[in-house]
Amino acid sequence: MTFDANASSAGIARRRFLAVSAAAGLGGTLFPGALLALATQPIATSSGVSGAAPAADAQPDLRGWPPITPEMIDAAAAIAAIKLTDEQKQMMLEGLVGQRNSALRVRTLHLANSVAPTSVFNPLPAGTPATHSAGSMPVRLGPAPNTSTLSVSALVSQEETVAFATVRELGEALRLRKLTSVALTKMYLARLKRYDPALHFVITLTEERAIAQAEQADREIAAGKYRGPLHGIPWGAKDLLAVKGYPTTWGAAGFEQQHFDEDAEVVKRLDAAGAILVAKLSMGALAQGDLWFGGRTRNPWNLRQGSSGSSAGSASAVGAGCVGFAIGTETLGSISSPSTRCGATGLRPSFGLVPRTGAMALSWSMDKIGPIARSVEDCALVLNAIYGPDDHDRSVQPAPFHVDLTLDVRRLRVGYLKSAFEAPVFQPLSAEETSKLSAAERASREQTHRAEFDRRVYDAKFEAATLDHLRAMGVALTPVELPGFHFSALLSVLSAEGAAAFDELTLSGRDRLLTGQKPYDWPNEFRTARFIPAVDYIQAQRARSVAITAMHELFLGVDVIVTPSGGSQLTATNLCGQPAVIVPNGLRGDDAPPFSAGIDEWPDYGGPGTPVSITFLAPLYGEAKACALAAAYQQKTGFHRLHPKIG
């Protein structure tokens, strides 16, 4: 190897250039002349003030920040779980000043929530051929429904029958002109107004828009211009979908008057399908839980219990028979949990199947949009209208959704998570858990622990019955297990992306306006997430690649996996992108352990007369087969036909 003195000098200059730029925190925005001038100046001191001439764009305020000291590095190193020598800490000081200055400069951009990172999450493992759609195909449905009880007169005499009819049934009645969209829309608007004081599920009614759409739908249907099974069907949107002319509040105090000038892509697609938007429904503040600035959305089966969330109003309104269907979103359980609680059917599609353009971002690599309705068939019809790439959301794959609900499900390869269906075994509290408690506190903790176990034992009966029903349908079941992977250790991805999505909220202090201010609420979560090192975030994403491969291998041998709706599968599939269909699985009887909210604001257990659910998982972009099995299961059991009696 020959040594080039000129090349060596250039390399030294280049390194010096990068060091100066990093320390100043300005390199990427300065003109070349300014950069050359900086290269001849001393590197900025640890005071955090670069002394560089201001660039033409907005300048960060570098004043007021204390010098970075070795003691600060010690504290930060403890948080980041790294060990440093004194020499290493001294060497880091200048670079840390540059990192802080760069971060301050980025903050001057005031990035909107709609600005996505340049990196795009792809849940397909390396080497897996992408599945491409062969073009849009209609959902292959089962037999035509009976619409004999659905008519305009029934809206008065048998309102409950109409209100809880499926989308398929309502759509057929509209097509046959037994019902009108205007009459149906007015009925659902009236029910939303009637039950909202008890359920707190409406943020904004879109009444004027809805009536105009319904009138147009009736004219088109009368003229023979039928757009399909969603034509004339009233629906509700989780209030993170932008709708022009109406507030989009994200359920959060401080955002009550937020407006956007364009409809979300999903709203546009449902408009094109002829569906009628009647309301923007409640969501937990910034997509957390069921608590929003207007109160806590309630479970229509138990008004003392929250609906769960964050698709709180979507599931509650469907469960209460106040919309034909709704749109929800899920990052980590936000379709699954409220659908379970409210007795609705939810379809969380694969990551990257439905465009999120015009929807609030919480986690760019985990957010998913999907339908909540009364049946799997309804969910399939809605998903068929909203899936597929657009021109903006770069995460969306050109994957197919060709669902056949007439499929002989006995031909499917069906697995079940064996350990999740095993009878619970009581584990007493350990001495470590109780050693520092008083006798009274210990007794109370043990009583609560026993009550939680009794509830698990009771609900396990429903889960075991699921397998019996499937076997009776002729479905062969193969035991499987999730990969032995610490999926929950990767949730720093969600924390970091959520904190970035709402960075301005944290930095401005406006997070204090949010209704929830407990340690588990977003304000504290976002503040805490700012201490996740960038290296650890990237390491979590790399570990996620390993998890994705492991989950992909699990699904190589099965078309569908049956599982209880909670547990570690919920974390695993949300991180790795697999779809889920959540269906009602019966009602707890009068012998069920009692409901007790206690001090828990989100009690998971609703007590006697409340619904349970079961979940059908599928490989990436394989939701069609999960829909086929779940729909057949619903036809076998009829649990989706149950509905609450609201006072």
pLDDT tens-digit map of 162-206: 999 999 999 999 999 999 999 999 999 999 999 999 999 999 999
Q: Based on the domain organization, do 102 and 216 belong to the same domain? A: no
DSSP 151: S
The Cα 318–Cα 302 span in angstroms is: 15
Name the DSSP letter for residue 277.
E
Q: Are residues 242 and 378 in the same domain?
A: yes
pLDDT tens digits, residue range 389-418? Answer: 998 999 999 999 999 999 999 999 999 999
Would 479 be classed as within a structural domain?
no
281: which residues sit within 8 A by CB, 6+ positions away? 201, 202, 203, 236, 237, 238, 239, 312, 313, 314, 316, 317, 323, 326
Domain count of the fold of the chain: 2
Residues whose CB is less than 8 angstroms from the CB of residue 252 and which lie 6 or more positions away in sequence, other chains included: 285, 286, 292, 293, 513, 514
* C-alpha to C-alpha distance for 86 and 577, rounded to whole angstroms: 44
- Say whether both 239 and 337 belong to one domain: yes
The answer to whether residue 493 is domain-embedded is: no
The mean pLDDT value for 590-615 works out to 87
**628 lies in a domain?**
yes
In a domain, 288, yes or no: yes
Give residue 9's pLDDT band: very low, low, confident or very high (50, 70, 90).
Answer: very low
Same domain, 213 and 362: yes
As a whole number, mean pLDDT of residues 491-518 equals: 95
> Residue 193 sits in a domain of what CATH number?
3.90.1300.10
Q: Retrieve residue 561's tokens.
A: 């996996």
Distance CA 175, CA 177 (A): 5
Tell me whether residue 484 is in a domain. no
Average pLDDT, the chain: 90
Which residue segment(s) compose the domain that 295 sits in?
Answer: 182-416+536-641
Q: Per-residue pLDDT tens for 573-595?
A: 999 999 999 999 999 999 999 99
Q: Tens digit of pLDDT for each residue in 316-346? A: 999 999 999 999 999 999 999 999 999 999 9
Is the confidence at residue 350, as pLDDT, over 70?
yes
State the pLDDT confidence band at 599, using cuts at 50, 70 and 90: low
Q: Final residue of a domain: which of 86, 107, 128? A: 107
- Whether the CB-CB separation of 195 and 322 falls below 8 Å is answered with yes
Query: Strand, helix or coil at 165?
Result: coil
- pLDDT tens string 430-453: 888 888 888 898 988 899 899 999
Classify residue 404 by its DSSP letter: B
Q: Are 291 and 208 found together in one domain? A: yes
Q: Residue 379: is its pLDDT beyond 60?
A: yes
- The percent of residues in the chain predicted with pLDDT above 90, rounded, is 76
Asked if 211 and 77 sit in the same domain, the reply is no
- Write out the H or E segment, with its range, that includes residue 377: helix 376-386
- Which whole-number Å values give the CA distances from 579 to 2, 455, 557, in the listed order? 57, 27, 16
Return the bridge partners of 617, or none: 561, 580
Using the 8-state DSSP alphabet, how is residue 241 labeled?
A: B
Rg of the chain on CA atoms, in Å: 27
Q: Is the dihedral of CA 529, 532, 538, 539 positive or negative?
A: negative
Domain assignment of residue 473, yes or no: no
pLDDT tens for 210-237 read 999 999 999 999 999 999 999 999 999 9
Residue 608 pLDDT greater than 60, yes or no: yes
Task: State the Cα–Cα distance between residues 240 and 118, nearest whole angstrom.
Answer: 22
Distance, in Å, from the CA atom of 194 to the CA atom of 513, rounded to the nearest integer, reads: 29
Is a pLDDT exceeding 80 seen at residue 600? no
Residues 208 and 103 in one domain: no
If asked whether residues 88 and 198 sit together in one domain, one would say no
Q: Residues 279, 401: one domain?
A: yes
| From 2-11, 215-224, 526-535, the region with the lowest mean pLDDT | 2-11
State the CB neighbour count (10 A cutoff) for residue 209: 17
pLDDT value for 433: 84
Determine what percent of the chain is predicted with pLDDT higher than 70: 90
- Give the Cα separation of 355 and 114 in Å (integer): 13
Asked which of 107, 138, 153 is the last residue of a domain, the reply is 107
Closest CA to 326 of 280, 391, 271: 280
pLDDT attached to residue 329? 98
pLDDT at 45 > cutoff 50 = no
The 10s digit of each residue's pLDDT in 454-481 is: 999 999 999 999 999 999 999 999 999 9
Quote the pLDDT of residue 136.
67
Domain membership of residue 165 (yes or no) is no
- What would the mean pLDDT of 25-36 be, rounded to a whole number? 38
**What letter would DSSP give residue 470?**
H
* Same domain membership, residue 192 and residue 91: no
Q: Residues 211, 357: one domain?
A: yes
Determine contact, residues 276/200, Cβ cutoff 8 Å.
no
Could you tell me which residue, 155 or 166, shows the higher pLDDT? 166
Global pTM? Answer: 0.89
Token representation of residue 30: 């300065």
pLDDT score at 48: 35
Q: Judge whether residue 7 has pLDDT over 60.
A: no
pLDDT confidence of 1, banded at 50, 70, 90?
A: very low
Q: Which phi and psi (to 5°) does residue 590 adopt?
A: -65, -20
Residue 63 phi/psi, 5-degree rounding, is -80, 155
In a domain, 115, yes or no: no
What are the residue numbers of the active site?
Answer: 238, 310, 334
Domain end position, chosen among 47, 73, 107: 107
Residue 57: predicted pLDDT: 58
Q: Does one domain contain both 244 and 339?
A: yes
User: Alpha carbon 93 to chain centroid distance?
Assistant: 40
Kindly indicate the confidence band of residue 134, based on its pLDDT and cuts at 50, 70 and 90.
low
Q: What are the backbone angles phi and psi of residue 45, rounded to the nearest 5°?
A: -80, 175
Give residue for tokens 């201490």.
531
- pLDDT: which is higher, 10 or 113: 113
Q: How far apart are CA 35 and CA 284, in angstroms?
A: 47
Q: What is the 3-state secondary structure (H, E, C) of 532-594?
A: CCHHHHHHHHHHHHHHHHHHHHHHCCCCEEEEECCCHHHHHHHHHCCCEEEEEEEECCCCCCC
Give the pLDDT confidence score for residue 58 in this predicted structure.
66
Give every CB contact of residue 90 below 8 A, 6+ residues apart in sequence.
70
CA-CA distance, 508 to 424, in Å (whole number)?
47
C-alpha span between 322 and 191 (Å, rounded) = 6
